[in-house]
Amino acid sequence: MVSIGNYRHAVRGQPANSRDGQVGVVGTSRVTGLSRFRHRSCARCVGLAVRRLCFLMFCAMAALIAVTVHHGAVLAAPDSWTEPRAAMVRTIEDYAAELPKRFGSGGISGPVLNVMGEVPRHLFVPQGVQHRSYDNTPLRIGHGQTISQPFIVALMTELLKVDEEATVLEIGTGSGYQAAVLAELVKTVCTIEIIPPLGETATRRLKKLGYDNVQTKIGDGYFGWRDCGPFDGIIVTAAAGHVPPPLIKQLKPGGRMVIPIGGVFGPQYLTLVEKTADDTLRTSQLLPVRFVPFTRGTR
């Protein structure tokens, strides 16, 4: 036996005298036993921590797999609008085949048709008319405005003849559908809407759908958007009595503008304005159309 005093000495690393005259033998043994106990306790703690960590990692992996499977299932879920969109594209092709020869024999190009088959038009119209989203007809979107029929959207887009590096101006954002179609084909779309509720709703919609290359503005489109230009192409989605001079000025040499020209009650014609390299204008009336009137306001 070692006295408490001797044990304390041994713990402190000092020699403890036993009755047989040996120095620190029994005390050292006690210290060694305590040390082993501590080591075993630490080992058990480490083992427990490792098991808990493994369990947490397993739970995290299981959760990740579950989310991945669910996401895959959502992506794989059939889109009820796929067939109506495909039927709409076929209708556009049929209409394009009847275009006059001055439009060219190519009709509507593949890239434009592909985009028309991808952009979800049903998300750009009021819920009450969603069932008609892919009919080849204009639809009312409120505030006395309409979303153009798909064929006209495709045709006006095609007539611009722009590439993926182009910057395009749209006058008359409306629901944002035409801007979304353009955004899939060009680098930047700048679109102006004079009716604040429409412009604000379209801005939120385009942002929610991820069209980050679309810039929106509330204002009078007659004056264009000088800070966003000059433009490779300009689309006007309302009938004007004449081509606004500020838009001509903001159109790049070699650029194209597509605009309906005509009165509210008189005939309207879809008109192509081309600016040559020397700033000469060439204007062509293409086909009769019917658009809402160009709304004016203050700058």
Across the range 80-107, mean pLDDT stands at: 85
Same domain, 245 and 109: yes
66 within domain boundaries: yes
* pTM (predicted TM-score): 0.72
Same domain, 37 and 162: no
Residue 279 falls in which region: left (phi positive, over 0), alpha (psi -120 to 50) or beta:
left
Same domain, 258 and 282: yes
User: Is the confidence at residue 6, as pLDDT, over 50?
Assistant: no
Domain carrying residue 265 = 82-289
Same domain, 244 and 142: yes
Instruction: Choose, from 18, 148, 175, 284, the residue flagged as catalytic.
Output: 148
Pull the structure tokens for residue 270: 């879809």
Same domain, 59 and 147: no
DSSP state of 191: E
Active site residue 148: yes
Beta carbons of 293 and 259 less than 8 angstroms apart: no
pLDDT tens for residues 8-32? 333 333 333 433 333 333 344 444 4
CA distances from 238 to 194, 218, 250, 258 (A): 11, 16, 18, 11
Q: What is the mean pLDDT of the chain?
A: 81
Q: Give the number of domains in the chain.
A: 2
Same domain, 57 and 125: no
